[in-house]
Structure formats: C-alpha cells, structure tokens
Structure 1
Amino acid sequence: MENIVRRTTTDAVYEKLHDEIISLEILPGTKLSESEVARRFGVSRQPVRNAFTRLCNDDLLLIRPQKATEVRGFSMERVELARLVRLSVELEIVYRAVGVWDASCQAHLAENIRWQEQAIEGGDLTKFHALDYDFHKLIYVLSGNPTAFEVMLECKQKVDRICLLSLEKSSEATSILTDHRAIAESLALRDLDAAQAAIRAHLSRLDETIEFIHETHPNFFE
C-alpha cells in the first residue's frame, strides 16, 4: 500500500511540474527546491525527489549535487537532433497516410482546423498550441500509426517550449494554421509530393523560431 501511495504522489507532482514547465508557467533557469515544492504540494520530500529525477530524465530539470536544481534551458544540440528525427518520422507518416486517407480522415482534420481558427480568433494561444499537438497526432492515428506518435513525442517535447514562446510573434499562429491547411489539403488529394513538401516547410519554421527566441530570450539557452 505504501508503494502505491508513493507512486501516485510522485506521479501527481511530476505531472503538475511537467505541465508547468512545458507551458512556461515555470521558466527556464528557475531554481526549484525539494523542500519548497514539498510544502507546496503538502507531501514529503521523497516523492518530490522522485519527480525531479523523472523530469531530469526528460531533460527538463538540471540536478547538480550540492547546488540548486533548476529548469533546464534550451540546448541547440538537442533541439537540432529532435528536429531531424521528427522530420524523418513525419515524412514517413504522411507517406503511409496518403495510402489510406479518405473522407472520414479529412473530416477529422477539418474539424481540428476549425477549432484552431476559433482559438486564434479568440486570442487563446495556449489552446491553439494544444490543437497544434492534436493536429499532428491525428495524422499518426488516422494513418494507423498511433504508437509511432508516442515514440516521436519525446523528440517533440524537447522543442515544445520553444514553439510556445514563438507564439509571442503575432503572425506565428496564423502561419502555423496556414501550414496545417496545406498539409490537410495535400492529404485530401492524396498527393504525396505535396504532402511531404508541406511537412518540410512546416517543420522548417523551427529554424526561424530558434533564431527569434535566441534574440528575444537569450538567457533561456544553455
């Protein structure tokens, strides 16, 4: 029973801190104390220590003996590797998607795009970011490759915080939506060349995003 309680408490602390770091409620470079986090959640330090270890394994925390634990900044090396892996996987996924795409698949993407439009109109960039995530996941699921999305997710999460920061640019969400429309239209036509070109164009925005964030938030980089 004790192990079950400890695991559940660790999960709760981990999930909350993970969400706050990914959503930038807790910014890169922020120092975190085991004792302070334990008081905040009303738990002992052990589940907090366990949660910190998991976040460290996710490359979200930097734990240094005898020094303060802090939220990791962005690593150019890790970001570039994640971008390469994601591009390779998504090019293969649209290849598979084109082979099975039908009106039902397209209807699901169209609904997601309508929600994206509403989020932009309402100025809800956090919701738009979540819908961006869902858009890509839908392509994996509808093409019959949901497990591949889980594998790719680790790479995606390494750049999610940068992507969220990029939405500070007023035109960024609209540009991403335009890319999503191009991807959806190519899949509807089952045009592999167009779909892969749209994926390349979409993911290449990360280069501009990194440059923009490096200029506006240089202290967020390692």
Structure 2
Amino acid sequence: MPSSSVLNPTQPVNQQIYRILRSDIVHCLIPPGTPLSEKEVSMRFDVSRQPVREAFIKLAETGLVQIRPQRGTYVNRISVNHVKNGCFIREAIERAVVKRAASMATDSHLYMLEQLLNQQRVAIDRNQLDDFFQLDDEFHEQLALVADCRLAWDTVENIKATMDRVRYMSLDHVSPTNMLLAQHYAIFEALKKHNEDEADQAMHRHLHEISQSILLIRQENSDWFSEE
C-alpha cells in the first residue's frame, strides 16, 4: 500500500510528491514496470498535473522511472550497472567525508551520532525496518555535517535512489540490521579516536556491503533487475 498522501502546505508541492513517490518505489510498494499516471497521482495528492510532472522528471533523473513520450511513465527495473556505479561514487565521497569528519568531530558531534546509534538499536529491537532504514541515512547525513560539507550528502542522496532499493530489499536477511549497526559503531569509534585511517577503512567495509548484497538480491528477485 502506498504511503501517506498528505502534503505540507508550507513546502514545495513538487518536492514533496517526489519524496513520497521515491519512498514508495524504494520501499518496494510500487514494483518495476508499474505505470505512473499524472492524472492518478494528481488526484491522489489533490493537486494540478504540473507539480506531478516535475516530480516525475526528478524521479527519471535518479533512475527510478522512465518517461516514454506518448506512452507514459513507468517504474524502472533495478539497473545492475547503475547500482555498481552508484556504489563506486558513493564510496569515493563518503570515505573522504568520514576522514574529514574524524579530524573535525567535537564532543557535541559525537553525542548526536551516539544518539542516532541508540535510536537504531531501538528500531532493531522493535523490528522496525523502515525506521532503521531512515536512521541509517540520518547517520550518514550527520557525518557529512560533521565534516562541514552538506553538499557531499546532497550529492550522495541524488545518486543513490536505485541503490536504496537494493539496500531495502537486503535488510531482513542479506545485510542484517545488527551487522549494519556494528559497522556504524566501528565508524563511530574511529571518529572518537580522531583516527582518519581507521574511519576510512570502517566506511569502506560498511559500504562494500551493498556491492556484495546486490548479487544475492538479484538471484532472489531476477525479474526486478536489468543488466543495463
């Protein structure tokens, strides 16, 4: 079932629709091949077609949908090459980010990161995978803020939509949340010691997990994937 259709009147409509549809696709609520109708989506959110069209364009830029002129908009299958390239770019950015964060982390920064880790533990204990998924992103976003480079996270966020579908599909068995949390703690401990090399290696091990998980996820869900 798709997520909430309630929009915040104080925020840009097209951006909200994009985020909601992105979440629905990433969380496997809208499977590959599903047609997306401007008319139906505009009715869902009770808005005109223009912001919906703008949201579709943004989804196409992230690789989640394909807009076919005169034929419609469809949810893409997961591109193996897109995921691999996204993993390569994300690792290059986040390893640089975490090294810088290790040299800049203050007690206040470490406190905020530790709070996020505690929240992740609670989500795991309650088997709240969606909450853990969101908190995982917040942890990585916070690292970029510690490194005083918000643009780094914005760049990662823009390229990882296809990768996120694999991340979500792997949470319950291929990449267990307890293992991911342990990897987060390894990054956190390196930051506490202000050890740049240790933080770099901890991030490498953590992000390498996605590259490995796609192999098994593709075997289990071959109809969801393409080699393009």
**TM-score normalized by structure 1?**
0.88
Match of 1:120 among 118, 124, 127: 124
Maintained 8 Å contact 1:55/1:61: yes
What stretches of structure 2 of length at least 5 have no aligned partner? Answer: 1-8
Match of 2:212 among 196, 203, 208: 208
2:117 is the alignment partner of 1:139:
no
Change in Cα spacing, 1:98 to 1:14, as seen in structure 2 (3 Å) is closer
Maintained 8 Å contact 2:133/2:168: yes
Maintained 8 Å contact 1:120/1:128: yes
Secondary structure of residue in 1 paired with 2:29: coil
Maintained 8 Å contact 2:175/2:209: no
- Counterpart residue type for residue 86 of structure 1: R
Maintained 8 Å contact 2:87/2:211: no
2:54 is the alignment partner of 1:53:
no
In the TM superposition, 1:73-88 aligns within 5 A as 73-88=77-92
Aligned to 1:33: 37
Secondary structure of residue in 2 paired with 1:63: strand
In the TM superposition, 1:58-69 aligns within 5 A as 58-69=62-73
In the TM superposition, 1:154-165 aligns within 5 A as 154-165=158-169
Match of 1:109 among 113, 124, 132: 113
2:28 is the alignment partner of 1:24:
yes
Secondary structure of residue in 1 paired with 2:78: coil
Change in Cα spacing, 1:97 to 1:14, as seen in structure 2 (3 Å) is closer
CA distance in 2, matches of 1:194, 1:11: 37
**How far off its partner does 1:192 sit?**
1.8
Change in Cα spacing, 1:191 to 1:18, as seen in structure 2 (3 Å) is same
Maintained 8 Å contact 1:32/1:70: yes
Maintained 8 Å contact 1:83/1:155: no
Query: More displaced, 31-40 or 90-99?
Result: 31-40
CA distance in 2, matches of 1:100, 1:55: 35
Q: Which has the higher helix share?
A: 1
- Counterpart residue type for residue 180 of structure 1: H
Change in Cα spacing, 1:189 to 1:147, as seen in structure 2 (3 Å) is same
Deviations 1:151-202 (Å, cap 9, x if unpaired)? 2221233311110111131761111001001000111111222111111110
CA distance in 2, matches of 1:193, 1:105: 19
CA distance in 1, matches of 2:13, 2:185: 41
Maintained 8 Å contact 2:38/2:49: yes
Identity of aligned residues (%): 32
What stretches of structure 1 of length at least 5 have no aligned partner? Answer: none
Aligned residues: 217
Change in Cα spacing, 1:87 to 1:15, as seen in structure 2 (3 Å) is closer
Q: Which protein has the larger Cα radius of gyration, Structure 1 or Structure 2?
A: 1
CA distance in 2, matches of 1:101, 1:42: 45
Maintained 8 Å contact 2:102/2:196: yes
